[in-house]
Every structure is written in structure tokens, then in C-alpha cells.
Amino acid sequence: MKAEGMPNHTTPLDEINPRQGQTQLCMKVFVQRDYSDGTTVRFQTLFPSELEGKLDKGAFLYTVNQLNANFAEAEKGSCSTYCEGCLACITAYLMYICSETHYEKCLRKVAKFVAEQNERVYMPRGLLLTNPVDRGLRVIEISILDQPMVART
Amino acid sequence: MVTNPDNFQHGDYSGVPVEDNSTHAEAKMTLPTHVTRKWELFPGRNRFWCDGRIMMAPQTSVFFVTVSLICVTSTLFFYFDCPYLTIHLSPAIPAVGGFLFLFVMAALLRTSFSDPGVIPRATSHEAAYIEKQIEVPNSANSLMYRPPPRTKEVMVKGQPVKLKYCFTCKIFRPPRASHCSLCDNCVERFDHHCPWVGNCVGRRNYRYFYMFIVSLAFLCVFILTCSVTHLILITKEDKIFFEAVRESPTSIIVVIVCFFSVWSIIGLAGFHTYLVSSNQTTNEDIKGSFTSKRGQSNFNPYSQGNVCSNCCHVLCGPVPPSLIDRRALVTDMSEYQQQESGVGGMGAGEGGANQQPNTVTTNNRSYGATCPPHHESPSGNGLNAQLGCNLATTTSTENISMSPPSLHAAPISIATSSCNNPAPHMVAPIHHGAASIPLSTPSINGSDTSSIRANAGAATNEGGALYESAPLAPKMDLSDLDLDDLDEVMIGVMTSSPPPSTSSANQLSASRLRLLQDTTMIESALDLDSLEESCTSSVGAGSQAGLIRRADLMTS
């Protein structure tokens, strides 16, 4: 009971981020959270102007909408998640040590989706999508790999 | 705010990241002996145990009081009262008591040892991006630099919610999040910092906390009634009450302890039941975020609609993941270093540094780390010097070199090594402001310079960890490190060196003002976090007013 259980989302995220060193110096675009529907994880579908000409608007919308859908599913209060919560409570939360929660399963799905999108859409265009979980679910970070970071004036 | 110094320099050069190479080399050196996990580089003040599995607040002494109070009282009950009650009443009593006790301890440890929902700090890129987004476009020739607004209003289900900028975490705090000044983190759905459980109570551990409070209330009432019953049963065996107490003295101790704690616990449980049923946090309830003000109707936009679904959602809803991912291996060391340098003096993290002094990376944070409150800082000059450190990094990146290089021929350099972790090679040598003022500003009259010299001398004497060393940093000629001297420095500079063109002077002053504002903002941020919502605006206005005053002073 001392431990937090298994580490929540271990390393799949780390393996997916290739060329990590390169992303340090390039320009980055951040898609911010959309709080209009409460504190559930949703991202704005506003197309960032920096990506104009680099990425198809439809592809961007598809990515964001898919991510939003995944997170909505993770945070949805369905019967099964409530049962899971109740069961964990009855077992004095010892259940979390040995079983994976619904949310963690959804995060796995998100990580897979991000990796797949990177491979199919973003990397060929010189972009890199970062899993929002790595950025504290605050932003979707899109790195423009071939564009150096511009210094602020 | 403070943009990453490395980036600009690398951008200027051929794009070969010099620093990064050395970083990787260090990482390689440390890897075979020690695997660096993210908790070791965690910028907050939290303490970690068991290789990052356990996460607690920096002060945990009250937590041990809680644990020992519960354990001692329960042990006395189980050892002295239970045998009698089992024989005379029912064997169910120790069974129920045991179950309650285990549940209470499980919930308590779960609350204390888990991540309350810490929001990781922004990377330097993200911070710069936010800064760019909120920057107010002001005309180039306007002298006054207008600071960008530090709040952002969003609509949550039709209800306007103000998001405040967190100067420590470099983010706009999400709705319901708040910065815990004790742990130095922003916590999602922040409820309160509970010293009794030795942790913040936030989104991820609120349900454990609630279960702990409720089950503890039950346990307390149960033990109280059982002990009283024990005493009454003894009294019934034709003995007076005094005899009964003498026969079972521990019962009366247990009764007293339980009697005094049960009221507060029941009150707390009731209060939190109300909060759960209305889906509020203690923080919001105290601030009155959802009460109607000045005739404006106000409602809780986070409520699920009715009491039942609120309870379900808060207590049994999906558990969000821990965003800091503290057990993960550090793959990208440079990011952390950038973050560290970006955060600068505000880091104040020492939790990991104390425990793992042998790692290179944890030493990294030692520079610029403000002394944690339980350490006494070596001198009053400490904070200023650290702010100066911040300033120095900023100025070096922006390359505002004003005085000719020959002017700082023999500067006194003062290194601010943090009091708990002196790592001289990591510490950026800082030229004390006052030391080079006389050199760069010959037009200042004698009395002024002498007073400044005296100032410098006093500072050198006061500082515990100050020493002279050869200056390592190439461009540290900007010397406005001591905030008190800043005005004089500015005036001196303006008067001594007639600027080649007024526009450049304006630019200069604007950038200087920004530096000043950065520091003052940081300074006020220290207070901001602990202040209530109503006060923050006035504090912000105060610092801005100070800026304007200084700007006026400059122009005159």
C-alpha cells in the first residue's frame, strides 16, 4: 500500500519521440486547451497560422478531434468507470496496485495514435507531434523541425 | 519571461549545440552508475521516497503525528478494551474495528503518498510562446513598456472564469487549479494543503482524502462508544465509576482522545460531504467563487447537475493520470536544463537535490535556487543576488553590452552558491553591481560612488558564501544586480554615456524596464501565490505603478 501502484504510463512515450535532440532548437506551435466545456481535456480546433502551407487543415482538425474524442472517452462518467471507482474504494484502493484503470487504457490509445499520426502525416512534412501527456495535458506541441526558432524582438 | 539563454546563443552560432554535447557527455558519464528518473529533477519542493514512488510535501512532521495518534489510540483500544468486549458482548467488535482501522490507514497512506495532481511546469519553449501570445503590441517609439496582462478570461459553460498566470510554473493555471506555496507547484482542482496528511489535496487524491475523513469519523465514533461501553459494563458489576477507571485506565485515555478529536473530524466530514455533493473545492468555497456577487448571478460551472451525479463523479469517476510521470527515465536532459535556466531563481527545489547529491543533474539546480524557508539565508543580500543572477542570464542573452569591455578590468565577482549545495563550477559568477558602477560612470560625483562602494563592501562582508574568483562568463558587464542600486545605475548610464541616437536609448530603456519588470514580477509572484484573489490585482497594480515611477525617473 505504500506505492502508487504501477507507474502510470511508463515508457511508450519516450520510445516514440525520435530526434528528440533536434526539437530543442526548432520552432514550436502550441495548441491550447479549450475549457468551454468544463475541465475535461479538450483542445482548441483553431488552426495555427504558423502551420499555414505546411499542414493540411483537414489533417490538423482530424488529429485534434481524434485526441479530443479519446480524452472525452477517458473522462466520460460511464457506468463501468463508476463501478471501477466503487470497487477500488471498497478494496481500500488496493485494486489500483494490480489493475490498470480505464483512463490509462485510453492514454495508451492516445500514445499509439500520436505515434501513428507522426509516422503517417507529420514526419513526412517535417513536423513532429508531441503527446499532450508529456506536456501536462496543457497543450499539443507541434514542432516544425526545419524552421529554427526565431528570437523574440 | 526569461527566455532560454542557450537557444539564442546556439541560434547565433552555426547551430551546433555546444551545451548539449556536454550535457550528453555528462549523461553518459552518470548513466552506468545511476539512472536518472524524472523525480530527481522535479522542480517543486516535494519530497520523494522509494525511488519516486512516494511523493509528499516538504514538511511531513504533522503527518507522523496523525499516524501515531491513530495508531496509538487504536492499539490501546484493541489491546485493552477489545478482549473484554469480545467476551462480554460480541466478537464482531474487534472485527469491525480492525476493518475500519485498516481502511483508514490505507486511505491515509494513499492520500499522503500519491501525486495530488501536480501540473508540470512549462518548458522554455511553451513559456516563450505564451509570452509571445499575450504580449501587448506597443508602438516602437513609446517609452513605456506596457506589461502584458497576466490574466486570461475563458468561458466555462457560459460562466466567465479568470485564469491567472503562474509566474513559477510559467503557465496560465487551468480552471480550478491553484499554486500551493508550500509545495511550490500548481495543483489541479486544488482543494487545500493538508499538513495532517502531509500532502496537498487535489484532483488525484481528493477521493482518498474524503474516504479517509469519513472512515476516520466512523472509526473515532466506534472506538469512543466501545470504550464508553467498556467502562459502563465494568461499572454495572457493582463497582463505582472510580473503580472502573482504575481497573481499565487506558479506556479513559482512549475516551478522552476520541472525545476531543471526534467533533472536528465529524465537522470536517460533514463539510466535505457538502463540498462533494456540490462539486466544489475547499479553495473555491473559502473564496466564494460561486456565490452571487453584486447582483450578478453566479453558478458552479463544474457541477454535474445533481447531488447524486456529483458524488459519483467526484468519488468514483475516472482517475486522471499523474502528469509528472515521476518514475519515468529522463531521456532529454537538455530540456530539463533549459527549464532550469528558464525558471532561474524561482526553482527553489531542493527535495531531490538533498537526497541525491552525487548526480550531476541535481547539482544543476543548485545555482539560482532560492533558499527554502527552513534554511536561513546567509544574508539579506541573498535574494537580491539571486535575482541578479536571473538578470544576468537575461541580459547576456539579449546582448545589451553597454560599457566597453575594458571598463570591467578588475571586477569583484560574487558567486551566489546556494546554501545547501555549493557547486562552484555550476554557479555563474556574478559581478556585483555596485563594484563596476564607478568604472562605467565617471560622471557620478564622489560621494555617490563612495556610498556605492561602501554598499558593495558591506555586501561582500555580509555574504556568507561570497568569494572572489576570476570571471568566467564572457558578457557579464551589465551590472545592475542589486535592485536597490538599479535606479542609480540607470541614471548613471543615461548621464555618463550620451547615446548615439535617442531611439536606441529608448529601446535600451524599454529592455531594461522589461528586465526590471521581470524581476519585480518574480518578486511579487512570491507573494501572489499566497494571496487571495481579491488582493492580487492590487499587488500587480502596485508593481506596475512602481515601474511607471521608475520610468518617469528615467525620463527626467
What pLDDT digit, counting tens, does each position of B24-60 carry?
444 444 445 677 888 888 888 999 999 888 999 999 9
Q: Determine the residue of chain A that is closest to B511 in CA distance.
A: A153
* Distance in angstroms between the alpha carbons of the first and the last residue of chain A: 53
CA distance B320 to A39: 12
Co-location of B214 and B133 in the same domain: no
Domain regions of chain A by residue span: 26-148
> pLDDT tens for residues B8-32?
333 333 333 444 444 444 444 444 5
Share of chain B above pLDDT 70, in %: 51
Cβ distance of A138 and B110 shorter than 8 Å: no
Q: At B165, which helix (H) or strand (E)?
A: strand B159-166
Domain boundary (B287, B316, B345) is at B316
| Torsion sign across C-alpha atoms B193, B195, B201, B204 | positive
Distance between alpha carbon A48 and the CA centroid of its chain, in Å?
Answer: 18
All three cell numbers of B19, joined, read 551545451
Surface-to-core class of residue B143, CB atoms within 10 Å of its CB (0-12 exposed, 13-18 middle, 19+ buried): middle
- The answer to whether A118 and A20 are in contact (CB under 8 A) is no
pLDDT at residue A13 is higher than 60? no
Judge whether B240 lies within some domain: yes
Q: Are residues B74 and B124 in the same domain?
A: no
Strand partners, B293: B296
Residues B307 and B229 in one domain: yes
- B positions 80-99 inside 8 Å of A (CB): none
CB < 8 Å from A in window 177-236 of B: 188-189, 207-208, 211
Contacts B153 to A, Cβ<8 Å: none
- Could you give the angle at which helices B18-30 and B5-12 cross, rounded to 10 degrees? 120
The answer to whether residues B285 and B218 belong to one domain is yes
Helix (H, G, I), strand (E, B) or coil at B166: strand
- For the segment B518-546, the average pLDDT, to the nearest whole number, is 39
Residue A34 pLDDT more than 60? yes
DSSP track, A9-66: S-SHHHHH-TTGGGGGGEEEEEEEB--TT-SS--B--PPPGGGTTTS-HHHHHHHHHH
- Residue A59 pLDDT > 50, yes or no? yes
Find out whether B167 and B528 touch, Cβ atoms under 8 Å: yes
Shortest distance between the Cα of A116 and any Cα of chain B, in A, equals: 21
Q: How many CB atoms lie within 10 A of CB A103?
A: 21
Any domain includes B263: yes
What residues 274-313 of chain B have any CB closer than 8 A to a CB of chain A? 301-302, 304, 309, 312-313
Across B301-324, average pLDDT: 89
- The total of other beta-carbon atoms located within 10 Å of residue B371's CB is 17
Catalytic positions of B: 194
Under an 8 A CB cutoff, do B302 and A39 touch?
yes
* ipTM of this complex prediction, to 2 decimal places: 0.82
Which strands, in side-by-side order, build the sheet including A127-130? A26-32, A139-148, A127-130
Question: For all residues of chain A together, what is the average pLDDT?
Answer: 82
Q: Which residues of B touch A93 (CB under 8 A)?
A: 106-107, 110, 208, 211
Q: Which residues of B223-241 are buried (b: 16+ CB within 10 A; e: fewer)?
A: bbebbbbbbeebbeeeeee
d(CA B332, CA B24): 9
Q: At what angle do helices A102-117 and A57-75 cross, to 10 degrees?
A: 170
Cell digits of residue B210: 474524503
User: How many angstroms separate the Cα of B339 from the Cα of each of B183, B258, B334, B365?
Assistant: 18, 48, 8, 10
Query: Of B249, B284, B316, which residue sits at a domain end?
Result: B316
* Whole-number pLDDT of residue B186: 93
Q: What pLDDT score does B332 carry?
A: 64
Q: In B, which residues are within 8 Å of A44 by CB distance?
A: none
| Residue range B351-388, pLDDT digits in tens | 333 333 333 333 333 333 333 344 433 433 333 434 43
Among B282, B316, B350, residue at a domain's last position: B316
pLDDT at res. B475: 40
Domain check: are B166 and B108 in the same one? no
pTM (two decimals): 0.64
- Which residues are registered as beta bridge partners of B186? B119, B179
If asked whether residues B252 and B152 sit together in one domain, one would say: no
Region B213-236: mean pLDDT is 94
Contact A103 B318 (CB under 8 A): yes
Nearest Cα residue in chain B from A97: B110
Q: Is residue B435 part of a domain?
A: no
DSSP per-residue string spanning A77-109: --HHHHHHHHHHHHTTT-HHHHS--HHHHHHHH
In this structure, of A41-45, B164-168, B266-270, B410-414, the range with the lowest mean pLDDT score is: B410-414
Q: Which residue has the higher pLDDT, A69 or B347?
A: A69
Domain contains B237: yes
Q: Do residue B151 and residue B274 come from a single domain?
A: no
Cα angle at B547 between B541 and B553, to 5 degrees? 140
- Say what the pLDDT of residue B145 is: 64
Mean per-residue pLDDT, B256-276: 95
Out of A8-22, A54-68, B58-72, least confident range: A8-22
Q: What angle do CA B21, B26, B29 make, to 5 degrees?
A: 130
* Amino acid, single-letter form, for residue B319: V
Question: Within this chain, do residues B167 and B278 fall inside the same structural domain, yes or no?
Answer: no
> Is residue B157 domain-shared with residue B265, that is, in the same domain?
no
What's the pLDDT score for residue B245? 85
Which pLDDT value is given to residue B79? 94
As a whole number, mean pLDDT of residues A97-108 equals 90
Q: Which of residues 46-65 of B touch A (CB under 8 A)?
A: 50, 53-55
CA distance A120 to chain B (A): 24
Closest Cα in chain B to A108: B321
Q: Return residues 457-476 of B near A (CB < 8 Å).
A: none
**From start to end of B292-442, where are the E strands?**
413-415, 429-431
Contacts for B83-91: CB closer than 8 Å, 24+ residues apart: B84/B230, B84/B233, B84/B234, B84/B248, B85/B226, B85/B229, B85/B230, B85/B233, B88/B233, B89/B229, B89/B233
* DSSP class of B288: T
Residue B82 shares a structural domain with residue B128: no
pLDDT classification of B94: cutoffs 50, 70, 90: very high
Residue B60 is placed in which grid cell?
511531513
Pick B321's closest partner by Cβ from A8, A30, A151.
A8
Considering the domain architecture, whether residues B76 and B160 belong to the same structural domain is answered as no
CB B319 within 8 A of CB B116: no
Which residues of chain B are within 8 Å of residue A82 when distances are taken between CB atoms?
Answer: 312, 316-317
CA-nearest residue to A102 within chain B is B318
Do the Cβ atoms of A40 and A72 come closer than 8 Å? yes
Instruction: Measure in Å the smallest separation between the Cα of B487 and chain A Cα atoms.
Output: 24
Is residue B269 in some structural domain?
yes
Please report the sign of the dihedral spanned by the C-alpha atoms of residue B20, residue B26, residue B28, residue B31: negative
What total of structural domains would you count in chain B?
A: 2
B162 and B267 co-located in one domain: no
Per DSSP bridges, beta strands B47-49 and A127-130 are unpaired
Report, as an integer, the average pLDDT of B129-138.
74
pLDDT at A125 over 50: yes
Residue B256 belongs to domain spanning: 58-119+193-316
- DSSP class of B477: -
